[in-house]
Chains A and B, each alone.
Chain A
Amino acid sequence: MDKVTTIEEAAALVPDGATVAIGGLSMNSAPMAMVRELVRQAKRDLTVVGIVAGMPVDWLIAGGCVKTVVSGLVSFEGLGLAPNFRAMVQAGTVGIEEYSEHLLICRLQAQAYNLPFMPTKAGLGTDVLALHPDTLRQEVDPTTGEHYVACTRLPVDVALVHAHAADARGNVRVEPKLLWMDSEIVNAAAVTIATVERVVPGREFTDAPERTTYPRFMIHAVVEAPYGAFPTSLFPNYGHRSAFFDDYSTAARDPQTFKAFFAERVTGPPTWRDFLDANGGAGALLDIARRTA
């Protein structure tokens, strides 16, 4: 079965109202090409799970796609706050379910392992637990007397991840095997869409099966999207694009300016290639490909 498809067709696997988990962490490895396509297709009422996220969540909010954000952290790190996340959550237009990194990992693992809950010491003593009486329970182990938090399942409809390579059958390679929390969202999701830098012949996988990260039965669609994490990084191929974060944050100071910026630089370019051209083209790509340059 050939799972390679276009980004437009892959995005059609995400229905309005779905729970969508976004891979990567902060400035790294986010599936930006696929996120852009969800915005272009005007998805609505998504519940977006981004464990430690930034730009992808902000794009989806700017595109009006989001009902609720489920997250531990949404920011642009040393480059500032995520402006649409901040504004829309403050205004109450977008809902927020704040967890923490490990509480979300544990909820995803409970789902992945098909267990009623996963225990952790995370969150004890904080106000996070009281936000989620239905999904987090503080309990005491009857044998040892230890306090723990029982994290209930978090079902994910669609996981979006960006990786280095895939074959047509859907085997995926993240190389080096630096996974952030991507494996946890893939394992918790009913459907996973992988964008990859390159689609390669199946031989490359069968010749080195120890380098495969996700087997083909976990992956439902493959889309080739070179530089598909731009403006976040993909280690070791390229770094994040600071200039994009700066331009974005500057534009966001004024709603009209931002609207024009978002149309011109993010949603407007018809193809991913056009998007890269609109954001610096070859010069930008050479800048971020510093490790191979």
Chain B
Amino acid sequence: MTAPVPGYDCTVDELMVVTFSRAMSNDTLAFNGAVSFIPVCGYLLARRTHAPELVWAASSIAIDADPATIPESTLSDGLWGGASMLSNSPFDFWTYAQGARYNTFAFRGAQMDAFGNVNNTVIGPYDAPKVRLPGGGGMADLGAMIPRIFLWSSTHNARTFVERLDFRSGMGWGDGGDHRRRLGMPGGPQLCITNLCVFDFEPVTKRMRLASLHPGVSVEDVRANTGFEIVMPAGEIPVTAAPTADELRILRTEVDPTNARHREF
């Protein structure tokens, strides 16, 4: 639900977009995949606020797109207005991705684990699934190639955040520790932004660590809705910072005036 955030002049989807946006910078070179409304809003908001040089390839195709509105699919050509280049998949996109020119990607899964690995393939056994999901798409590729991975979820509950994935469609920190480094992969997951809280990753184990709580959410709420043990930070857990009036105005009137992002809630 796009519920109001207690004490803030915004809803939780807006808080998630703004939090995502603030994690972007002028050296972000990003692109997006399927059903990625929160990241798409975040890239556009960052470019209109603190990161005007940010690069974003809409649908991984349309570089520097600046759509008037966000359509019902983030892989649709309705997202490409204002682009300076329409890139081609095998020889443009995959070169920039595997060549580590692009440095930022956001994915989510029907299941996510403590190391930021994701499952979008099956619930239950692969050969006899309880639920057949759409598939990992480019997750298995981009998880291995891109150094700054961001995760998000609009359904923070114990069914989504699980101890063990039924299938690892996309690589986050893998088995944790130095797993990515051993496989020669750059970087790894940086943040996971949910409708309840923000996680970062504990530097040694690479497990999700509570970084901030959204207003009105308690540690117990997060624990009760998370299927794995959460690393707790030393000291007080901060409250997720409030969006500014400018950020909210730009998001509501310029970035996503038709509330396409609500499709994720």
Residues in A lying within 8 Å of B, measured CB to CB: 25-28, 52, 71-75, 77-79, 81-82, 85-86, 89-90, 92, 96, 98, 100-103, 105, 109, 120-128, 131, 146-147, 176-181, 183-184, 233, 235-236, 239-240, 242
Contact = CB atoms under 8 A, between A and B. Distances in A.
A146 to B, nearest CB: 5
A72 B142 CA distance: 13
Interface string B78-92: 101000001011100
A126 B129 CA distance: 18
Contacts of A181: 89-90
User: Could you say which of A52, A78, A178, A236 has the most chain B C-beta atoms within 10 Å of its C-beta?
Assistant: A78
Contact of A233 (B76, B86, B126, B179): B76
User: Could you say which of B130, B141, B143 has the most chain A C-beta atoms within 10 Å of its C-beta?
Assistant: B141
B132 interface: yes
Given A78-B73, A78-B263, A102-B94, A125 B168 contact: yes
Interface in B129-179: 129-132, 134-141, 143-145, 167-171, 174, 179
B77 interface: yes
A121 B134 CA distance: 22
Given A26-B34, A85-B132, A121-B145, A128 B77 contact: no
A227 B164 CA distance: 46
B72 interface: yes
Contact of B134 (A81, A92, A102, A126): A81
Interface residues of B, number: 51
B184 interface: yes
Contacts of B169: 100, 126-128
A27 B34 CA distance: 10
Given A26-B76, A125-B168, A183-B88, 17 more contacts: A26-B75, A52-B75, A52-B137, A75-B134, A89-B129, A98-B135, A102-B98, A102-B140, A105-B89, A105-B90, A121-B98, A122-B140, A122-B145, A124-B185, A125-B179, A126-B171, A179-B90
A173 B129 CA distance: 42
A27 to B, nearest CB: 5
A86 to B, nearest CB: 5
B135 A74 contact: yes
Does more than half of chain B's interface fall in helix, strand or loop, or is it mixed? loop
A72 B171 contact: no
Nearest to B100: A121
B128 interface: yes
Nearest to A92: B128
6 contacts: A28-B76, A78-B34, A78-B37, A98-B135, A122-B141, A180-B89
Interface string B59-75: 00100000000011111
B180 interface: yes
Interface string B179-208: 110011100000000000000000000000
B144 A122 contact: yes
A242 B128 CA distance: 32
B63 to A, nearest CB: 12
Contacts of B103: none
Contacts of A92: 128
B184 A147 contact: yes
B34 A86 contact: no
A198 B129 CA distance: 44
Nearest to A181: B89
B38 to A, nearest CB: 12
A61 to B, nearest CB: 12
Contacts of B260: 78
A242 B140 CA distance: 29
B121 interface: yes
B35 interface: yes
Contacts of B88: 177-180, 183
B74 A77 contact: yes
B112 to A, nearest CB: 14
Given A26-B75, A126-B169, A105 B94 contact: yes
Contacts of B61: 178
Contacts of A146: 184
Contacts of A105: 89-90, 94
A92 B129 CA distance: 9
